[in-house]
Amino acid sequence: GRLRGAGFVVLQRHDRLGLRYAGDNGVGTRWFATLSALDSPYADDPGGLTAAERDADPRAAAPLAVRFDTGEAVRQQRLGGRIAHRLGDDLELRVAGYGLARDFSNRLPFVATTLERTTAGLSVEVEGSGAAAMGAWRWVLGADADGQRDTRARYRNLFGERGARTAWQDEDVDALGVFALGLWSPRDDLDLELGVRYDRVDIAFGDRYLADGDDSGGRRFEQVSPSLGLVWRQGDATAWFARAAT
């Protein structure tokens, strides 16, 4: 890759780590795993300059940015992986998962915030295929679940020092989905697809800053989403398709 730029670099530090491992046992099982980490203990925010301030000193930071020592810090770790295993000639099982932890803080003029976040997810799929006189087919059944936990707080920025807390809350999101997909090819040039998916998302908000009342609450969203598709191929270069979904 190539990166080009002009101007002046903001005072900052970023340390990154990335690892990946993949394998195949040669008898139907494949896998990979990834690990990444980021540590940025400081990244100053110089703000914006007026044209006159820029002409006077292009290296300067905005007066409010200097006064409130604006900037941010972040630390994050992420682990993920996937494994696929052949259960037979026409059947495969796939499992994938991930987890993430993130700590973030920043200082803006008059206000400072902190965020602690953890997320995790898991998905499972089974895919089968076959063929007979009526044509070839393929089907997939699966489910996935994801969750996120945030703790967020806001403080007064007292000229670079953290002051009194003005907000403190937990924000939780959980998502669950299950789906089924079928593909039938009655002819070599025609594919018919039918699928359905159910999703449920739960959002919960927990108010920890009760000086102005308790604003805790939550909501649930649910949806069933069918889909229908058709692909008609005319030679190697042309294909007509139609699809309807919600």
- The pLDDT tens digits for 29-83 are 999 999 999 999 988 888 888 888 888 888 888 999 999 999 999 999 999 999 9
Give the integer Cα–Cα distance in Å for 105 and 113: 6
SS3 of 70-129: the string is: CEEEEEEEEEEEEEEEEEECCEEEEEEEEEEEEEEEEEECCEEEEEEEEEEEEEEEEEEE
Residues 6+ apart with CB under 8 A from 3: none
Is 14 exposed, middle or buried (CB count within 10 Å of its CB: 0-12, 13-18, 19+)?
A: exposed
pLDDT tens for 100-109 read: 999 999 999 9
User: pTM score, two decimals?
Assistant: 0.83
Whose structure tokens read 């300067």? Answer: 60
